[in-house]
Each structure stands twice: as C-alpha cells, then as structure tokens.
A and B are shown apart, each in its own frame.
Chain A
Amino acid sequence: MSRLDRSDIQGILLHGYGRMRGASFLLAEIQDPDACRSWLARAAGRVTDASGPQEERCFNLAFTHAGLARLGVAERLSGLSREFVEGMTAPHRQRILGDHPGTPSDPRLWAWGGTEERAQPVHLLLMLYALTPSAAARDGERVAAELADHGMRVSATLDSNPLKDGKEHFGFRDGISNPRLTLDPAELASQHAVMAGEFVLGYPNQARVLPQSPRLGSERGESDWGRNGSYLVFRQLSQDVELFWETMQASSRQLGRNATHDDAKWVASKMVGRWPNGRPLTASPDSDEGELRDLNDFAFHESDADGQRCPLGAHIRRTNPRDSLRPGPKGSLEFVKSHRILRRGRTYGSPVASAARPPAAATASEFPDRGSTDERGLLFLCFNTDLRGQFEFMQQTWMNNEKFQDAYRAVDPVAGVHSRRRSITSTNFIVPDTPLRRRVTDIPSFVSVRGGAYFFLPGLAALRALSG
C-alpha cells in the first residue's frame, strides 16, 4: 500500500480544516430509517473527501452504534470495536474516563449522549465547517431543517467559537502537537511520524499489521466496510476558567511565590508544560519570550529527565510522554506512538475576558463577567483506530492515573480526574526543585464533561453502502 486513498477518506480525518474558522456540530436522531437512507444516498455526494483543496464549506458525518443499528446495518457488521458497541457511558468505561456518577461529569447529567432515561438518542453526527462562524451556524440551521424533512431530528447543535491566536479558554495555545501520518516505516525516525493505520483503517499501524476493521456481510459475501474510516471520539468539555486562574494564584503561594500575574502564569505553565504562547518549558523553562513559540521538536529525556523544567506530571508530558517513559528514549518513543490520537477539537462559548482574548495570565479579579454561568470549553474530537489502545489508554493510563511515573496521588492537573477513585475530587502536583520538590495539594477539577459519544466515521464507499 503506497498511498492513502484520499478520495475515499472523509476530509476531517486528514485535514483539520484550519482555514475554516467556523464549525457547527449537529447531533441527530434517526426517526425514520428509510427516509434517512434516501437522504444519505444524496448527501453522500456532498461529503467532503480528503483529495482536493478545501472549498468554502466542508461537510462530514459519522454514526454511533445505535445509529448503525437504527439503519439496520449493525447486525450485518462484524468486528466493530467493543468500546464503540458498548458506548462511552458503559459503567466500566465511566471509571476509565473518570465520568463518575455523582460528580459534575456524571453521564446522567449530560446534555447529550448521556444515560438519563428521557435523553434523546444520538445516532448521527454532522460536522459542518465554513469560513466564518456565522456561515457555519447558518449552514447548521439549514441542514437541521433538511434533516427534519428526512425523518431525522436534531437534538443538539454545538457551534464552535474560535478564540484568538488558536488558544483554548484557559489561555493556552492548543492543538500544537499532532501526529503526522505516514505509510512508510522509514519515516518513523521523526518523532511525530506515526503509521497511518493508527488513525485510518485499512493501512498498517505501528505494529505493522492492519488494525481491526469492521466487515459488512451481504448475500455476496463480506467486504471491508471499515476501510478508510476511523473511530471518532467526541466529548464536550466544559472549562471553569475562573476556578482555574483562582487556583493558579493560590497554588503559586504553595509553591513559595506571591500570587502575582506572573506567578499564576508560571504555575499554570508548569501544569500545562508549555507557556500560554505555546513555548515548551523543556526548551525554555524561565521565560516565554523568544522565537520558540509552538516549538514541537523537543524531547524530555536528554535535558529534562527528572522534570526540573517540565514536571513529570504536567499535561503535555502525560498526553504525549515522548521519550520519557521507562523503556528509555527509543523504546519510549516507539511505545508512545502506538497510543497517540489525532485531535480535531474546537473551542466553544464566549471567552471570559473581553474582546475574544482569553486571559493568558489574567487573575480572577480581572474577569469582567465574573460569576457568569456561561458555558465555555472545548469540543474535543479525536480519531483513532483502536479506542481502547489509544484514546482510552491515554485517558486512563496517562492522564487519569494518579500513579503515573511512580507518583503517589497526582492526575493530570489541567484536565484529569482520578479514574478509579471517584471519592477523590482533587489532585496533587509536584514541581521538582533542588534540594527539595514543592508540592501543590488539593487542586480541584476545572474540566467537566457535558456530553459525549463514540462515533464511526466511514469512508465514502462505506457511506454509500449504508444508503443502498
């Protein structure tokens, strides 16, 4: 296999549509499968593939397992992943992901995809991208009306609202590090190159085998229905920006500093592992000034093995430990590559600070709309071909693991929760120092889940097979 079959792959899988500032996500229920199928037959022609230059708007779609069942194809499919079939809210999965009952992330409280009895089922996800947020929102309305005419009902529309400078709501540049897909094992020397089969079904993965792909049975035999598709994780993550910066201020005191702007920014950067402008602490531990913004070609082992610059428990060191895990630099890089995800997230909600400028290091007292109950956060989307080995592994074994890197009680300070002990709602964070480390205790959760589901993003031929 020398090339990706781009004309059969949906565009969002290979492109982030960075030029499209607007995105609107529609969650729909299929009420009339026949009407839906006939709509799919025509809509398949409008789906953006990954071959050409991006147009003014892009359109992609994905299905939950319940959606495939509604269309009558689930029972003809074999080899779907267990995680996808069971769904994001299976009891065991709630423990893995940290969506514990009785916490703000309790799936019974979710706005969509949750377990509350009267919740509207989620069958279909439509991803609409346009050059501006208002254009995307208009497209969303138009498509919602179209769906209503074809036996479907939109249960939720999530509009993205991009923040300035590519930042997320806590004020940090986001989405800097994504794997680069390759089909050539010789290219794997580069630390960001990962075999395409980790993200696109039908191609060799890091183990040099084809990832498990669902097959569709029919009278004429079986076909590889999953080919050129991928599993899509979608989670609506609500961020409590005020609590975040209040905590950073308080934490700076625990770290022996004075709770000034700069101190709060320093603590937050220690917890993230990058400065707000994207500069990695490992390359630049003391200052965020200089030309290294967004630098991504760095590793931990050589210059920062014990975390004096970027602490071992920092967010970026957990979500992508690079060469810092125990097997040693080479083994670690290889290991990490088989647990990566391809992120396609977008921010939503209005920023806390005015003028669409997130508070890079703002202190709590400066928030103009302090106390507002506005929802804001991240529409987290990512792709992988092995939900358990990639997305869930990263969540459970790296982010939500209080014992990561031999720690005692420290989960990801920015986005983690104790995956196995729901009674513990706060975490510790250790900042190595000489002669003695400093420790922040009782860091609360700033992020809670408002909705989520596992989807399957089929290739274009597979999509046409659904409508046939």
Chain B
Amino acid sequence: MSTPEPSPHFSPREALSLFTPIAPGRTESLRALLDELGQDVEHMDGFPLHELPEVHFVRLFVVEGDAYGEIPDRLVYSANIDGSWRAHLSSLVARAPLLREIYGHCEGFPAAADGEGSQRLFEWLAEHRVKPRLFYQGTTGRTTAQITGEAALHDELAGFFDEGLRVGRWGEASPTRIVADAREHVRAQAGRLPQGPPPTRSAEQRTVHGLDLARRVLIFATPFALLTAASLLLLDRLLELSVEALWAPLGLLAVTALVVGVTFLIVRFRETSRLPSEEVFPPATRLDFSNAALVAQQEDHQIQNQISLSIPIKPSRFRRTLVRIVLWVGDGLVRFVFTRGSLFGIRSIHFARFHVDERRDSVLFFSNYDASWESYLEDFLTEGKRAVVPIWTNLRWCPRTRWLFHPAVGFAAIFKPYIRHHQMRTSIWYSAYRDLTAANINNNTAIRRGLWSVRSEGEALEWLKLFSK
C-alpha cells in the first residue's frame, strides 16, 4: 500500500462584488454590450473568464437607480473565486482588455489604459468593492480545479465499474477488493486524475477559522454579558443586599426574558396588525408578468440557474437594524455551522450572498443554484424556510410571517410572484462547471475521500453506493 500524495491546502474562496455608478445616459449602450457578450459566455473575446482558473461563477448586470436621478444606475460585477479577490482583479485587469470598454461606461473611469493605467484601473475597481454581509458556500473549500478534477475521477470510476461488470471482473469478489482495484486504476492515471484524499484545512487555516469563530461569539455574547452585569448592579442597588450566588442567574434570566419578551411583543404586534395598503404586494391577479417572462427567458439553458434580487427594506429603523443583525448572525451560521453543503436542508446552492444596498436601503441577493427556479423557491418555502423568512420578513411587500420565523398561511402563493417581480435581468452569467450540481460536487469529494480511506467491508459497501446516483 503506497501512501497517497500529501494533500494540498483547503482553498479559501472569496466573494468579490464591485458596484460602479454608470455615467448618465450610458446604461442602455452598456446593457447592449453586456447582452451581446452574454450570448456566448464560453468564448467572450476580450473577457476570457474561461481562461481564468480561479473563477467559479461570474455575473455582470445593471442595478437600476431611482427615477429622480439621485441614485445612478450601477454596474454590478459579482464573482466567486479561489484565492484572494486582489489576485483575481489583477488577472482580470491584465487579461480582459474588454474590461476597459465595459467600465468606460462608468463614472470616474480612469481613462489611461495600459502600463501605469492598469494599476490605476485596478485601484479604481478596488475602491468600488463592497463586502457582502452574508456569504454562503454549498461546496466549501474546493477550488475550481479540484471540482473539475473530482468530476473526472467520478466519471472515470463509473466507466471502470461499467466495464468491470461487463466482463465479469469481480464475480464473487469482496467489496474491499473492488475498491482496491479502483485505487489501482486511479493510481495508474496519476497525470490525469487527482490523487490522494481531498485537501483539509491546514493548522494555520484551522487557527484563523477558530479565531474568527471566537471573535464572532464574543461579539454575539457581549450584549448579553453587559446585560447581565447591568442587571446585577441594578438588583444590588435595589435590594441593598450583597450579590449572592442565586441572584446572578435569576437576574440574567429576568432581564433577558424581559428584553426578548418585549421585542417579540413589538414584532408580533407589527406582524399581526393590518398592513398599510401600500405594503401589501399586488395580488397576482393584478400583476403584470412581463418581468417574470423577461427573467424566465434567461433560465434553464443549463443545469444551474442564477437569481439576482433587489428588494427595499421596510421603512423603519427597527427593520433596518434587525435585517443587519439577522444577516450578521446568518453569516456566522453559514461560516461555522452550515459548511457541509446543506443549508437548513437546501442542497442546491453553490454560492449565495447578501448585500445591504446602503444607497437604496434595500437588500440585494445573488445566488447560483441547481435545477429549476420553481424547485429552488419551493426549497425555500418548505425545508429552507428558516433561511428565508427571518431575512425577508424585514423587506417591503413580503407576505405575512409569524414570529419572524414562519411563513403565514398563503405565504408561498404571494412569495413566488413577489420574487419574480423583483428579480433583475442578468446580462452575463458564467459558470466554470455548468454540468455539475452542488450535490454532484459533494458526492465526488466523498468518492475521492472514501477511495483512499475505506478499510472494512462495510465501509467499502457504503462507498460503492456513492455510484448508485
């Protein structure tokens, strides 16, 4: 038994978002340019995303400003990449000459193009970077190269098993024997197929990850700690007693319960009170579905689909604060809890991100997902409702919710046309692995891991089942 190659490191992946204001009157010509390019994203001359190995998904589209011209239309560049956003932006500046033509439509674009100009372009673009508030990954830690390599591994092994069965290679052979043959087969193709188990976090990466977790827990716990201290102090003064062991937990309990209770009562009151008519989403019978038809045109050209949404936050300070808190907590959850390809049971997301658009007081949501729009929305309305309702309940025209967590009766019937109505047309959308679902990618990694780790007959049987899909 030879030792597999040492693992390369787990890949840190980033979400890069650039928001650049479009010069007045230039939006339509920019859109035309992007739409034309977007016709064939695999061969965009002058914008060779398919030649940039760090790219997973990229989209470009226009977020419209307001009708009064106070907020300009903006061009959004949104990418999911391996490594740092700086490296990606540099290679984009160096290898995508069309970048200049595209961004030439934007305000403040540094006109000089090459040499020193490249550096200026890089810096100008970097100035427009906005960090997402929440960044979810369904296929954590894998580079594009790893994803395509492991897909090749699966395909090769599936064919190897077909052939072996055809010629009767394994007769009554034990499962471990079949796995051993598979290992041998993969080893023989060292140049073509990834070898050894998939990468895991290095010690350094684990430390950074752990520190981030600690930081978030600390921030999360601080208000509660302060609350406790304050309540103890208060109790101490009020009762003029010394702080005995019993008071601490009681005080904490009482104050927390009071705060939580009052908050929820306010929320509940707002949820159950009649919505002002301007906050009720137009019932579907009154809805013009031209936007739905427009965005649907762009869907189902491949296995994956994408969605870009912009929805204003409800006009109250409470909601503006709450949605930021929810996104912050959510970001922690997706970084530390939902890291295995399932978000409250939803397994069809490759990448998703939320921004709060400070200029428009709205929430932006971009997602790259598998299968149909209809099934994606259904996922969010059934299993994944806990990932959706706490955020959407703070947005305008959202159908009624219960306790900020549950959809009320009839939620789905309104939610779907509501989402369709706010969906934005994406001009360019590129995927580096358009035939793979997140579930495929995760299964492929499990196959690779198991190939080198399987020992017992039972484990071998379980591993072989990964090919029954």
Q: Name A331's contact: one of B154, B296, B382, B437 (CB within 8 Å).
A: B382
Interface-lining segment among B67-75, B78-86, B369-377: B369-377
Tell me which residues across on chain A come within 8 A of B375, comparing CB atoms.
393, 396-397
Q: Interface with B: A22-30, A135-143, A169-177, A399-407, which one?
A: A399-407
Q: Which residues of A contact B109 (CB under 8 A)?
A: none
Question: In chain A between 76 and 109, which residues have their CB closer than 8 angstroms to a CB of chain B?
Answer: 78-79, 82, 86, 91-92, 95-96
Question: Is A435 within 8 A of B178, CB to CB?
Answer: yes
Residue of B nearest to A419 (CB): B300
Interface residue ranges of B372-419 to A (CB < 8 Å) = 372, 374-375, 378, 382-383, 409-410, 412-413
CA distance in complex: A331, B374 (Å): 18
Contact, CB under 8 Å: B300 / A402: no
Cβ of A370 within 8 Å of any chain B Cβ, yes or no, is no
A101→B464 CA distance, assembly (Å): 39
Selected contact of B413 from candidates A209, A327, A419, A434, CB within 8 Å: A209
B302 at the interface (CB under 8 A from A): yes
Contacts of A441 in B (CB 8 A): 162
- Give the distance in Å from the alpha carbon of A6 to the alpha carbon of B219 in the complex: 63
**Chain B residues near A392 (CB, 8 Å)?**
374
Across the interface, which residues of A come within 8 angstroms of B162, CB to CB? Answer: 254, 439, 441
Most buried by B among A335, A436, A441: A436
When the two chains form their complex, are residues B300 and A96 in contact, meaning their CB atoms are under 8 A apart?
A: yes
The contact of A436 among B161, B296, B372, B413, by CB within 8 Å, is B161
* A29 CA / B358 CA spacing, docked (Å): 55
Instruction: Identify B382's interface contact among A256, A327, A435, CB under 8 A.
Output: A327
CB of A207 within 8 A of CB of B293, answer no
Would A91 and B372 count as touching, CB distance under 8 A? Answer: no
Query: A162: CB under 8 A from chain B?
Result: no
Check B301 for interface membership: any CB of A closer than 8 A: yes
Q: Does A118 have its Cβ within 8 Å of any Cβ on chain B?
A: no
Query: Which residue of the partner chain B has the closest CB to A404?
Result: B371
Q: Hey, which chain A residues are within 8 Å of B409, CB to CB?
A: 207-209
Say whether A335 contacts B413, CB under 8 Å.
no
CA distance A401 to B370 in the complex (A): 10
The reply to whether the CB of A70 lies closer than 8 angstroms to some CB of chain B is no
Say whether B347 faces chain A, with CB atoms less than 8 Å apart. Answer: yes
Q: Does A42 contact B (CB under 8 A)?
A: no
Measured CA separation A463–B464 after assembly (Å): 59
Q: Which residues of B contact A389 (CB under 8 A)?
A: 374
Q: Does A150 contact B (CB under 8 A)?
A: no
Question: B282-311, CB under 8 A of A: which get 1 and which 0?
Answer: 001110010011001101111100000000
Of all chain A residues, the one with the shortest Cβ separation from B179 is A435
Contacts between the two chains (Cβ within 8 Å), count? 123
Q: Is B175 an interface residue (CB 8 A)?
A: yes
Q: Which residues of A lie under 8 Å from residue B301 when comparing CB positions?
A: 95, 420
Q: Does B465 contact A (CB under 8 A)?
A: yes
Q: How far is the CA of A207 from the CA of B297 in the complex (A)?
A: 28
Shortest CB distance B299–A (Å): 7
**A327–B383 contact, CB under 8 A?**
yes
Q: Does B280 contact A (CB under 8 A)?
A: no
Does A3 interact with chain B (Cβ within 8 Å)?
Answer: no
B405 to chain A, nearest CB (A): 17
Q: How near does chain A come to B211, taking the closest CB pair, in angstroms? A: 35
**Cβ–Cβ contact A435 & B175, under 8 A:** yes
Residues of B429-469 at the interface with A, using a CB-CB cut-off of 8 Å, are 437, 439-440, 443, 460-461, 464-465, 467-469
Tell me which residues from 300 to 316 in chain A have a Cβ below 8 Å from any Cβ of chain B.
306-307, 312
CB distance from B438 to the nearest CB of A (A): 10
B412 near A420 with CB under 8 A, answer no
Contact of B289 among A82, A95, A436 (CB under 8 A): A82
Q: Say whether, besides A92-B300, A397-B375, A435-B178, A430 and B413 are in contact (CB < 8 Å).
A: no
Chain A nearest CB: distance from B233 CB in Å? 48
**Minimum CB distance partner of A437 in chain B:** B468
A194-234 interface with B by 8 A CB criterion: 207-209, 211-215
Q: Shortest CB–CB separation between residue B469 and chain A, in angstroms?
A: 5
Contact A402 B383 (CB under 8 A): no
Residue from B300, B374, B469 within 8 A of A95 (CB atoms): B300
List B contacts of A396 (CB < 8 A): 300, 372, 374-375
Q: Which of B284, B293, B468 contacts A307 (CB 8 A)?
A: B468
CA–CA, A434 to B457, complex, Å?
12
Instruction: Say yes or no: A209 contacts B293, CB within 8 Å.
Output: no
**Is the beta-carbon distance between B296 and A92 smaller than 8 angstroms?**
yes
Which chain A positions have C-beta within 8 A of B302?
A: 420-421
Shortest CB-to-CB span from A80 to chain B, Å, is 9
* A436 in contact with B443 (CB, 8 Å): no
If A208-B409, A420-B301 touch, whether A326 touches B374 (CB-CB below 8 Å) is no
- Please determine whether B461 and A434 come into contact, CB atoms closer than 8 angstroms: yes
Per-residue A-contact encoding for B341-368, CB less than 8 Å = 1, 0 else: 0000101000000000000000000000
By a CB distance below 8 angstroms, the chain A residues around B345 are 326-327
Provide the residues of chain A in CB contact with B347, threshold 8 Å: 326
Per-residue B-contact encoding for A375-389, CB less than 8 Å = 1, 0 else: 000000000000011
| Chain A residues in 8 Å Cβ range of B250 | none
Min distance, Cβ A330 to any Cβ of chain B, angstroms: 12
Query: What is the CA–CA distance of A82 and B417 in the complex, to the nearest angstrom?
Result: 11
CA distance A312 to B468 in the complex (A): 9
Q: Shortest beta-carbon distance, A460 to chain B, in Å?
A: 22
CB contacts (< 8 Å) of B413 on chain A: these are 207, 209, 211-212
The CA-CA distance from A317 to B382 in the complex, in Å, is 20
Residue A438 lies at the interface, judged by CB distance under 8 Å to chain B: yes
Per-residue B-contact encoding for A422-434, CB less than 8 Å = 1, 0 else = 0000000010101
Q: Are B374 and A393 in contact (CB under 8 A)?
A: yes
Check A436 against B284 for contact (C-beta < 8 Å).
Answer: no
Smallest Cβ-Cβ distance to B375: which chain A residue? A397
B439→A403 contact, CB < 8 A: yes
Partner of A91 from B297, B382, B383, B437 at Cβ < 8 Å: B297
Tell me the smallest distance from the CB of A386 to a CB of chain B, in Å. 9
Task: Considering the complex, give the chain A residue whose CB is closest to the CB of B161.
Answer: A436
Q: Do A403 and B437 touch (CB < 8 A)? A: yes
Contact in complex: B374, A436 (CB < 8 Å): no
Do B440 and A406 touch across chains, with their CB atoms under 8 A apart? yes
Residues of A within 8 A of B161 (CB): 436-437, 439
Name the CB-closest residue of B to A428.
Answer: B158
Q: Which residue of B lies closest to A393 (CB)?
A: B374
- In the assembled complex, the CB of B162 is this many whole angstroms from the nearest CB of chain A, namely 6
- Is there contact, CB below 8 Å, between A393 and B437? no
CB nearest to B287 among chain A residues: A79
CB contacts (< 8 Å) of A397 on chain B: these are 371-372, 374-375
Residue of A nearest to B154 (CB): A408
Chain A minimum-CB-distance residue to B286: A78
Q: Per a CB cutoff under 8 Å, which of B296, B370, B461 touches A435?
A: B461
Determine if B166 is an interface residue (Cβ-Cβ < 8 Å). Answer: yes
- Measured between beta carbons, the chain A residues less than 8 angstroms from B464 are 435-437
B370 and A82: CB pair below 8 A?
no
Interchain CB contact under 8 A, A92 and B299: yes
Additional pairs, 12, CB under 8 Å, beyond known A406-B437, A436-B467: A82-B293, A209-B410, A306-B465, A326-B347, A335-B378, A403-B370, A421-B302, A421-B303, A435-B178, A435-B460, A437-B465, A437-B467
Q: Nearest 3 pairs between A and B by C-beta?
A: A79-B285, A209-B410, A437-B468
9 contacting pairs across A/B (C-beta < 8 A): A96-B372, A212-B285, A331-B382, A335-B378, A393-B372, A403-B440, A406-B437, A419-B300, A434-B461
A residues touching B (Cβ–Cβ < 8 Å)?
78-79, 82, 86, 91-92, 95-96, 207-209, 211-215, 254, 256, 306-307, 312, 326-327, 331, 335, 388-389, 392-393, 396-397, 401-403, 405-408, 419-421, 430, 432, 434-439, 441
